[in-house]
A and B are shown apart, each in its own frame.
Chain A
């Protein structure tokens, strides 16, 4: 009888041990799926989920904070992804957070990566719709990589040619690098430049005096400008025959009149001379 009861105790220990292991396993697996924590839900709409599956992890700053609960096709170009996230990380996800689909490794599972959004904004609410960014498909990367590689091939070909030319001393850079005389010339130029700049420094030290001269020159130039513009106006008026001198210069009638006046004046003065000579010889005035 006693043996029977010890056997029963042993059986009890055996069974409870098995159950404890099972419960622990269920707890740890459930813990990963946030079964025993308070959670909140978000949804996002993608065009293409790139192989994301139900149960995949959701990451914020590289930390697993939730799992993908369901994925469903809404229409032929829209896929709705529902995710469950640990309540404690809600305060870090802002209203303008963006969800993208990334990958755990080169051959690993897909993950939903949440970019937390701008600091000052309000936290996201339960059942909110999160903004999404289209994941970069490996195929697209491959296509653009192909063009890049093609371009790189061309560029490296050109570079090879250039370096050969440089090596053989062709072209400016080639000569610069490989030609001995050029190098000496450049060295001499640099020495000259150095001397020149030393002198320039001295000149610059005297620049204080030059300043006042420059100001004087500037005002002179100002006056000259005014004078030349006045002169311009005058010549314009002269040309259009305005004013006395203008009319004298440009008006032909006036000139003719002036001419005849001058002739008359000449004749007048000759007659006056004669008259005066006669008057001198006249008796009336000889006393």
Chain B
């Protein structure tokens, strides 16, 4: 459309102004339209997910396979990042606490921040980068190579087989990954505490559990289900609805990561509001 306008503008000056104004309007309109179209199709996609997830038959074997790929295969990455985060957080917090002469609060402080916030969010972001983009790229390439259409034609339900299993696997696996990441983070913190001090493992862990309450642990675990669900759903949506073409695959993978990372933060913010509201 832009090319046509430029072409016209070269020939007739008068018309140009009018047409350019129109074209700006068209771009504006399409951005809004695009946004609302996106929201509407994402909503339909979500509703379809629930519909297909509830309706039998269930693809248990595929769910197991996806859980293995999404959960188990992400464990090394999550464990390493969790360990490093715990270690770094401990080392970085020490000088501030040392100012108040309260280095003995280090395990408690690290444990609370790790379990409440940093563990779930960092794990979810890594998970979005690894799994969200993976799902997006996989489904997009299946879409591009018309495998999804082929499944539809051969009377297989591609949505149930491809989307529902992946979203469920992501929803169920992320909380377990977060729990393990918290565990590795605390191990990292134990190492971090012992770099400059000498704290026995027993004292370290009893200080941690002394400082933790169910209010710290349970809401943090519950919100990770929503993180996992959002990452799986957005990855599947972007892949399933990708443009036909090679660049569609890259675009789907990229936008899946961007949008799901953003959603992780938005859900986190809502979760914090709800948690603090419930705790009064």
Report the minimal beta-carbon distance from A278 to chain B, rounded to whole angstroms: 142
Consensus secondary structure, chain A interface: helix
Mask of B170-197 contacts with A, CB within 8 angstroms, 1/0: 0000011101101100000000000000
Report the minimal beta-carbon distance from A266 to chain B, rounded to whole angstroms: 124
Return the contact of B209 from the options A7, A8, A18, A29 (Cβ within 8 A): A29
The answer to whether B176 touches A29 (Cβ under 8 A) is no
Tell whether B142 is near chain A: CB-to-CB under 8 Å. no
Tell whether B217 is near chain A: CB-to-CB under 8 Å. yes
The answer to whether B209 touches A32 (Cβ under 8 A) is yes
Report the minimal beta-carbon distance from A109 to chain B, rounded to whole angstroms: 10
Closest to B71 in A: A14
Q: Which residues of A contact B215 (CB under 8 A)?
A: 55
Number of chain A interface residues as a range: 20 to 34
Tell whether B210 is near chain A: CB-to-CB under 8 Å. yes
Given contacts A21-B180, A29-B217, contact A11 B212 (CB under 8 A): no
Residue of A7, A11, A28, A33 with most chain B CB atoms under a 10 A cut-off: A11
Tell whether B67 is near chain A: CB-to-CB under 8 Å. yes
The answer to whether B217 touches A7 (Cβ under 8 A) is no
The answer to whether B68 touches A18 (Cβ under 8 A) is no
Cα–Cα distance between A21 and B179 once the two chains are bound (Å): 7
Tell whether B214 is near chain A: CB-to-CB under 8 Å. yes
Binding site for B on A (CB under 8 A): 4, 7-8, 10-11, 14-15, 17-19, 21-22, 25-26, 28-33, 55, 107
20 A-B contacts, Cβ less than 8 Å apart? A7-B64, A7-B65, A7-B68, A8-B64, A8-B68, A11-B67, A11-B68, A11-B72, A14-B72, A14-B176, A15-B67, A17-B180, A18-B176, A18-B180, A19-B176, A31-B209, A32-B209, A33-B214, A55-B215, A107-B102
- Given pairs A10-B68, A31-B209, 20 additional interface contacts (CB within 8 A): A4-B65, A7-B65, A8-B68, A10-B72, A11-B72, A14-B71, A15-B71, A18-B175, A21-B179, A21-B182, A21-B183, A25-B179, A25-B182, A25-B212, A26-B217, A28-B209, A28-B212, A30-B214, A33-B213, A55-B215
